[in-house]
Amino acid sequence: MTAMEFTSTRDSAHSAGFAAALLQGLAPDGGLYVPRAWPVVPAASFTGQSALPDVATRLLTPFAEGDPLDAFLPAITSDAFNFSAPLVPLGTDGRLSVLELFHGPTAAFKDFGARFLAACLSRLRKPGQRPLTILVATSGDTGGAVAAAFHGRPGIEVAVLFPKGLVSPTQERQLTCWGGNVQSFAVRGTFDDCQRLVKQAFVDPELRAHSELSSANSINLGRLLPQAVYYAATSLAIWRQYGEKASFVIPSGNLGNAAACTWARKLGLPIGEIVLAHNANRTVPDYLDSGEWRPRASVATLASAMDVGDPSNMERLRALFPEVGDLRAAVSAFTIQDQDIRSRIRAGFEQFGQIWCPHTATAAEAYERLSASRHWSQVSREGRWVVVATAHPAKFREIVEPLIGRPVAVPEALAKLFARPTECTEIDADLTALRAALGRRTSSWKS
Ligand SMILES: *Cc1c(COP(=O)(O)O)cnc(C)c1O
């Protein structure tokens, strides 16, 4: 059995197996790992499999074959996919549904990727090894999902860096409520300072000397692949029930979730159209319109987790669709302004009794524009459509509650987090400060 290889999007001479790609995060040339070849996993090969862990094992087996993680795959998928992704129909004809990806510990879809990566990395630890330290710079949501996923895993420590005073109080709670093997740092600086610190830490001999360092940000293959699983499971359910392909509208920022959907379709799952719903950060829709790739600084919107002006996973989409024409044939994209996000949150509640977070509402609004679309794409609303719900509305209560005129109930998982005590260390935005803080940590653990 030959192991599957993953190659860098920049230079395919850089390749790694599944476990190695997960541990490295980025390829040595700064590129992102993508499969060198695509296995085919057609709908008919999922006999009797519909639960997420089973679909995950079937879908990901070709990627793990011959790899150190292969034998653990069933255990990893049942550990990672331990919460559901229900498909909720809107209206009565079953043509439009919402896929709720927010039933995990931090109530957003990033829990899937973070939990899968944590489940994999914890199985690559051997007793007696130096600790593995996961460094994450976060502007809000990613850090919480990563902290939750790695919390309590033996042999792994997590350091979360966030810009002091620049994340919402709700986000800050999710970053600082863990303790144990998770340490939070409020950095006196910006998000860019946090990212710079993480990059410096990776090449710092002193830090590397006492622990192995890895990252868990969204370009890690171990976060992307598991996201293909819920697209596979959903398209299978629709295929089995109606004999039709499922089309998806995906709230998009850094394009990880969207790239995963294109991967699921590439693997042979019955997926039709893929529509990317962007907020006012219109780099991708502009690229599809003009054919010119012009990354830019991000602008702040209501759907803040999608405020990305230079999406990293574009490299993965380009690897799959090298010419802009190929990409236009594969996906379409919409730009949705804040005022239309607001009105869609109101309309979703009035029409369907649904309460949507701003990201989900962005996708619901893009769906509404399909038939009236004057875009180059000829995508219409025919067929079976799924709007992807990426976060629970309770995470964005300040925005949602005034629009629908009532309180949003907090799910149990979030309520539990909010009840925990918080703890964090404030540090200056320089490597010396980070080293000292991490060092203290390591020695107090040994004693
Ligand atoms: C991260 C995030 C997104 C954007 O996902 P990408 O994979 O970066 O495109 C959308 N919605 C929510 C709630 C998020 O946290």
Sequence ranges of the domains in the chain? 85-108+222-412
Single out the residue of 247, 250, 334 nearest to residue 289, CA to CA: 334
What pLDDT is stored for residue 210 in this prediction? 78
DSSP state of 7: E
| Full-model pTM | 0.94
Which one of 224, 390, 392, 395 would you pick to mutate in the ligand 1 pocket, going by the greatest count of ligand atoms within 8 A of its CB? 390
What pLDDT is stored for residue 446 in this prediction? 36
181 lines ligand 1 (CB under 6 A): no
pLDDT tens digit string along 3-15? 889 999 999 999 9
Residue 376's pLDDT band, with cuts at 50, 70 and 90, is low
Closest Cα to atom 8 of ligand 1: 254
What pLDDT is stored for residue 187 in this prediction? 95
CB 162 within 8 A of CB 136: no
Q: What percent of the chain has pLDDT over 90?
A: 76
* Closest approach atom of ligand 1 to CA 141: 15
CB 217 within 8 A of CB 142: yes
DSSP state of 407: P
**Rg (Cα) of the chain, in Å, rounded?**
21
From the number of C-beta atoms within 10 Å of its C-beta (0-12, 13-18, 19+), residue 39 rates as middle
114 CA distance to ligand 1 middle (Å): 13
Task: Report the C-alpha gap between 36 and 16 in whole angstroms.
Answer: 10
Residue 267's pLDDT band, with cuts at 50, 70 and 90, is very high
Task: Report the C-alpha gap between 275 and 7 in whole angstroms.
Answer: 27
Task: Report the C-alpha gap between 213 and 207 in whole angstroms.
Answer: 8
252 CA distance to ligand 1 middle (Å): 6
304 CA distance to ligand 1 middle (Å): 9
CB 223 within 8 A of CB 199: no
Residue 398's pLDDT band, with cuts at 50, 70 and 90, is very high
Closest Cα to atom 7 of ligand 1: 256
* Residue burial 49-71, b: 16+ Cβ < 10 Å; e: rest: beebbbbbbbbbbebbbebebbe
**Averaged pLDDT for residues 355-374:** 88
pLDDT greater than 60 at residue 373: no
203 or 18, which is more confident?
Answer: 18
What pLDDT is stored for residue 438 in this prediction? 86
Angle (CA) 206-209-215 rounded to 5° is: 90
In order of 37, 278, 282, 337, the CA distances from 298 in angstroms are: 34, 12, 9, 14
What pLDDT is stored for residue 39 in this prediction? 95
252 lines ligand 1 (CB under 6 A): yes
pLDDT tens digit string along 79-121? 999 999 999 999 878 799 999 999 999 999 999 999 999 999 9
Task: Report the C-alpha gap between 184 and 137 in whole angstroms.
Answer: 10
Quickly name the fold that domain 85-108+222-412 has. Rossmann fold (3.40.50)
Residue 199's pLDDT band, with cuts at 50, 70 and 90, is confident
257 lines ligand 1 (CB under 6 A): yes
| Token pair belonging to 313 | 């996973």
pLDDT tens digit string along 133-164? 999 988 778 899 999 999 999 999 999 999 99
Task: Report the C-alpha gap between 391 and 359 in whole angstroms.
Answer: 7
Chain mean pLDDT for the chain: 92
306 lines ligand 1 (CB under 6 A): yes
pLDDT tens digit string along 12-71? 999 999 999 999 888 888 899 999 999 999 999 998 899 999 999 999 999 999 999 999
Residue 378's pLDDT band, with cuts at 50, 70 and 90, is low
229 or 446, which is more confident?
Answer: 229
In order of 150, 253, 267, 284, 388, the CA distances from 333 in angstroms are: 34, 12, 22, 7, 14
What pLDDT is stored for residue 377 in this prediction? 53
pLDDT greater than 60 at residue 430: yes
Which one of 138, 262, 359, 392 would you pick to mutate in the ligand 1 pocket, going by the greatest count of ligand atoms within 8 A of its CB? 359
- Alpha carbon 370 to its chain centroid, in Å, reads 25
DSSP state of 306: G
What is the bridge-based pairing of β-strands 332-335 and 271-278?
parallel
256 lines ligand 1 (CB under 6 A): yes
Which one of 99, 103, 254 would you pick to mutate in the ligand 1 pocket, going by the greatest count of ligand atoms within 8 A of its CB? 254
447 CA distance to ligand 1 middle (Å): 40
CB 3 within 8 A of CB 35: no
What pLDDT is stored for residue 42 in this prediction? 94
149 lines ligand 1 (CB under 6 A): no
What pLDDT is stored for residue 439 in this prediction? 76
DSSP state of 294: -
390 lines ligand 1 (CB under 6 A): yes
From the number of C-beta atoms within 10 Å of its C-beta (0-12, 13-18, 19+), residue 253 rates as buried
**Averaged pLDDT for residues 423-442:** 87
Task: Report the C-alpha gap between 46 and 58 in whole angstroms.
Answer: 7
What pLDDT is stored for residue 192 in this prediction? 82
What pLDDT is stored for residue 443 in this prediction? 40
In the sheet that 6-8 helps form, which strands lie side by side, from edge to edge?
A: 15-16, 6-8, 33-35
